[in-house]
Amino acid sequence: MSGAWRAIPSAPEPGARICLEAEMTGPVHGCDLGGFPVLLVRSAGGLRAYVNACPHQHLPLDWRSSGILSPDGVSLRCSNHDARFDAATGEGTGGYGAGCALIQVPIEIRGGEVIVGGV
């Protein structure tokens, strides 16, 4: 995982609380940490966090719909123009996602809270 998320001006400090794990009522959960958009994804590869900005036009992947995870939990499909990404790694796999990737944010679970990792 790269540290690209830290280059975003609104990036939170490691240890910042994202949400309670119990607040995830579905496999995809968008959060805003003081202007830093986070997309939590519980997929076949486990729980991941990405900056919620599609590399195509920097729109939130779940802008038009939260139903962006494939039924088998393997692939994310941006709700705007159908860019596709590997849900476990963020690597682009098709459409406007080809050749690019989502920016992953490290996370940890502590006491039922999802927090920014790297502490």
Min CB(54)–ligand FES separation in Å: 3
Burial (CB < 10 A; 0-12, 13-18, 19+), residue 59, is middle
Nearest approach in angstroms of CB 87 to ligand FES is 15
Using the minimum distance from each CB to ligand FES, give the nearer residue, 12 or 60.
60
DSSP-assigned letter for residue 95: G
Beta-bridged to residue 116, according to DSSP, are 107
Question: In the complex with ligand FES, which residue's Cβ is closer, 49 or 78?
Answer: 78
36 or 114: whose CB is closer to ligand FES?
36
The answer to whether the CB of 108 falls within 8 A of the CB of 4 is no
Separate counts of helices (H) and strands (E) for the chain: 0, 10
Nearest distance in Å: CB 80, ligand FES: 4
CB of 85 or CB of 114, closer to ligand FES: 85
Neighbours of 25 (CB within 10 A): 8
Residues that bind ligand FES (CB under 6 A): 54, 56-57, 59, 78, 80-81, 83, 96
For the CB of residue 17, give the shortest distance to ligand FES in the complex, in Å.
27
